[in-house]
Structures are given as structure tokens and as C-alpha cells.
Structure 1
Amino acid sequence: MLCAIYLLEGKDFNGNKCSVFIENNGEALEKCTPIIVTNSADLQFLSEAELTAKVTPSEYGVEVKIYNNK
């Protein structure tokens, strides 16, 4: 089982300060299931979306891409 936890702080697409917590779990790097919690009203849809993630090695560590399944 793989698990990675991230806390991002910045601004949402409307310029409002926010935090985004991501917990990414999976059995393989190619198919993980992220859970997203945010205090941004504009990004709240991410908490309810059906998401998958793909983790790939990169020059600087790993690259995480999150996809909406809908």
C-alpha cells in the first residue's frame, strides 16, 4: 500500500488565500486514489469529485497528476 500526504498553501483561481490537503493512496504508482480537503469555496468541488492519480518518477523526484474521472 502506498500513501503520500501533501499540504499546499497558496491562492485559488480567484486569488483567494487557501489551503489544500491531499492524501493519495494506492496499490501501484499508476493508479492511486486521492482525497482532497480544502478551505476554498471555489475549490470545494475537488472534495466531492471522483479522482484518480498517477505518480511517475521525474528528474526532481516524482510528478503527481490528478485526473477527474467524470
Structure 2
Amino acid sequence: MEKLIMKIQVFGEGTPSDLQSPYGCVTFVPFTAKVESELFTGETLPGAVDVQVETPDHVRNMCAKYMFQGKDFQGNDCKLYVENNGYLQPMNRQDPHFNAVPRFLTDSPALGAYLCRQRFRSEVQGMDWGVEIRIFDVLA
């Protein structure tokens, strides 16, 4: 059984940078984000970026890397690094969301033992205001 543990709201910020070639393309999308959950509440530090690489056959890899500054569920100040990786196949481009795999690192002793394990998946979905990322514990 899965359990929703966190929702992250992502907002575009700045101008994307891209490179187009016959061998594929890459786009860097800067963003800001915030999260409010029972586990952690915070906002991104500068430097958050979503890197999208597309092959000539239109398979797209998305890798977002960002760090939050905030508070863990015990009220302690901490940082939470998130790396979210996913693939979008050409046949699935019309889907309103796609699945990815998040990885976490944190300096919070209260969060570290739980979040720094490989037991999560994410759903990334476009919204009117930006992107929502839902994090699920697949072993709950």
C-alpha cells in the first residue's frame, strides 16, 4: 500500500536555457518551489533547476535537483536535498502526469533515517500555476 507523504509546488523562474542539435536537445529550467507536509515545510534555496534531455527519437529524461531550507516535523531548522528523475516516452506525451523516482538527503536527524532510503516514487503533474510533485512512500 502506498502513502502520500509530501506535495511540492514548483513555479517557473527565470529564462530557460536550451541547446538544439540533430543529436538531441537539452533544456535547463530554473524554478522555485515550496513544500508543506507533516514531515517537512520549506522553500527552495537558489539554484533549483530541472534539466530535460531529449533524444532524437523523442524520449525525454527529466532530472530536477533542488534544495529546501525549512523545518522538520520536530520544528528543527534543516535542509532537504531532492533529486527527482523520470522518463517521458513519446507515446505518453498527452498524459497529464508522469512518474519519477525521487532521492533525498538531509541534515535532519529526525528525517534522515526515513527519507534517505530508496522507497519513494513521485508523480509530476502540470497545473495552471506551475507543477505539482506528489511524493509517495511505496512501502507504507
TM range (shorter): over 0.9
Amino acid at match of 1:63: E
Q: In structure 1, list runs of 5 or more residues that go unmatched.
A: none
RMSD: 1.1
* Residues 125 and 132, structure 2, Cα contact 8 Å, conserved in 1: yes
Structure 1 stretches (4+) deviating beyond 4 angstroms?
Answer: none
Structure 1 Cα separation of the partners of residues 120 and 136 of structure 2: 6
SS in 2 for 1:48: coil
1-structure distance, mates of 2:118, 2:108? 15
Compute the TM-score of the two structures, normalised by the length of structure 2.
0.48
Corresponding residue to 2:83 among 3, 23, 43: 23
Q: Is the Cα contact below 8 Å between 1:51 and 1:68 reproduced in 2?
A: yes
TM (norm. structure 1) is 0.92
> How many equivalent pairs are there?
70
- Given that 2:122 and 2:136 are in contact with CA atoms closer than 8 Å, whether structure 1 keeps it comes out as yes
- Kindly indicate whether residue 110 of structure 2 is the aligned counterpart of residue 50 of structure 1: no
**Partners in 2 of 1:58 and 1:52 — Cα distance?**
19
Work out which of the two has the higher radius of gyration on C-alpha atoms and give 1 or 2: 2
In the TM superposition, what is the alpha-carbon distance from 1:60 to its structure 2 partner? 1.4
Asked if 1:13 is matched to 2:13, the reply is: no
Letter of the 1:56 counterpart:
Q
SS at match of 2:75: coil
Q: Percent identity?
A: 34
The one-letter amino acid of 1:12's match is D
Aligned mates of 1:61, 1:53 — CA distance in 2: 16
Q: Does the Cα contact within 8 Å between 1:54 and 1:65 map onto a contact in 2?
A: yes
Corresponding residue number in structure 1 for 2:3: none
Could you tell me which of 41, 56, 62 is aligned with 2:109?
Answer: 41
1:24 and 1:6 mapped to 2: Cα distance?
9
